[in-house]
Amino acid sequence: MRSDQMKKGITRAPHRSLFKAMGYTDEELNRPIIGIASSANEVIPGHVHLDKVVEAVKAGIRMAGGTPMTFGTIGICDGIAMGHQGMKYSLGSRELIADSVEVMAMAYPFDGIVLVPNCDKIIPGMLMAAARLNIPAIVVSGGPMLVGECCGQTIDLITVFEAVGRVSTGEFTEADLKPYEDAACPGAGSCSGMFTANSMNALTEALGMALPGNGTIPAVMAARLRLAKASGMRIVRLVENGITPDKILTKSAFLNAVTVDMAFGGSTNTALHLPAIAHEAGVSLPLDTFQEISGKTPHLCNMSPGGPHHIQDLDGAGGIYALMNLLNEHGLIDGAALSVTGRPVSEELPKHPVLDTNVIRPFDAPYHATGGLAVLKGNLAPNGSVVKQSAVDPSMRRHKGPARVFNSEEDAVDAILGGKIDKGDVIVIRYEGPRGGPGMREMLSPTSAIAGMGLDKDVALLTDGRFSGGTRGASIGHISPEAAQGGPIAIVQEGDEIEIDIDNKRLSLLVSEEEIAARLKDWTPPEPKIKTGYMARYARMVTSADTGAVFEG
């Protein structure tokens, strides 16, 4: 066993002595040792209950004959970090999480590892570590939050963000806002729509790195703890059978995941995280692949923020494996791909029929003929940009308007809430990319303000930063190259005409190529916004959004 490096033989007597100081017995040390990377903490609602999930995982490991050993990782709640300096650190935390799991699993040569995340960057960070380590691994998340109820309607976190915009227009008072604030997030779990956290938890199933139900069983359900126990038992079997991530995280697995992503209309952040995980697995997953798969995959689930359904509804409809079963029946899933069940997914999918065709539409009656995301290119985004087209009003799929240019998110939000944006405008927020931000902040505040003010059918927003999975409207992010690298977005001027054509996958600055070249020649890079500490180092090492914002080298 891999763990023999730290426990077997005469020379390891001091090591065993240290383990015994923690209460481990000889019998426990003779068993397979399973590390549990837990991001439990008291600063993220999706993680505040993970200690209970971890205890269930430990019970499963012991039932299967293994010995669990838990360690912690950091985690950031994007909702709480949103709109201030904290959001600059969110994407960067993904690399720290991957590194920290790698460091622990190399310093302690576990025989296998269970990854227990639940939100945003923590999930892909742990998956990146699993691919890098290539020891038997399984993911079990904390599960989604239930929806809130207020004023006779179903609500979620995005309702509150958009209600802030309604306050700014005078439609709501602060007193009107309070009941929404109190009811939108009723308890533990990742926020209840198909935002980034739930998109990634669902795609972990599609990749084959988690058991069925990982992405959809609500956090408060006993089924979540049973899943955790099953995952604990399963990791011991993966160790016994030598099933490592390189056997699961194949090209087919990533193509399956992108297909599922398009079918359920996931967060645009998946176009950052899946390529980053693929990079660690030695698999090429260019941005163009997302567009190729989107073009042939129907959009079958209309989830919040673009639609009325939430993750608990998808769970009741059969979950991710039911959606995959439907896609598999129409030849869009590679059923030979292996999963942590130890079997090809084709053997598991038939056990999961669609139970509610209102939530998972029939293949011949999709919400949209093509997938939830679209990749736009053009002279404003030579390397690509990403939009959640399933959440764009049909009237905004083609739009032309004057640029309103801002060099930070804060300046844009002030202008929006100050009533300085007119119908037809194209808001450009730049120097918010991976390097320029630094950290490629999510921008739920400006998009929610636009939606809350009723402008989402009239105003577009473009950025080299990114958007929350809760964003709706003509919000186009990940524009690459970013402004800080001298991308064309850096030289857009106030009043320039910009044309958006989602149907033809184009994003164009209506300025002559000669003028663009002249402006770029005169452009000089700005001073870094953060000059010391981790994010200063991050800015020097990070690559463009179209590559997954991974580190160079």
Task: Show which residues are catalytic.
Answer: 468
Burial zone of 358 (CB within 10 Å; 0-12 exposed, 13-18 middle, 19+ buried): exposed
Are 144 and 311 spatial neighbours (Cβ–Cβ below 8 Å)? Answer: yes
CA dist 425 to 59, 163, 341, 429, 490, Å? Answer: 56, 22, 51, 13, 18
Would you say the C-alpha torsion 431, 452, 393, 459 has a positive or negative sign? negative
What are the structure tokens assigned to 289, written together? 């692949």
Cα separations (Å) of 275 from 175, 407, 413, 507? 44, 27, 30, 22
Residue pair 311/301 in contact (Cβ under 8 Å)? The answer is no
Whether the bond into 186 is cis, omega within 30 of 0:
no
Q: How many contiguous H segments (helices) and E segments (strands) does the chain have?
A: 21, 14
Residues in CB range of 525: below 8 A, 6 or more apart? 484, 486
What does the buried/exposed string (b/e) look like for 103-126 if buried means 16 or more CB atoms within 10 Å of the residue's CB?
ebbeebbbbbbbbbbbbbbbbbbb
Through-space distance between the first and last CA atoms of the chain, rounded to whole angstroms: 31
Between CA 1 and CA 536 the distance in angstroms is 40
Instruction: Find out whether 371 and 461 touch, Cβ atoms under 8 Å.
Output: no
Q: How far apart are CA 267 and CA 193, in angstroms?
A: 10
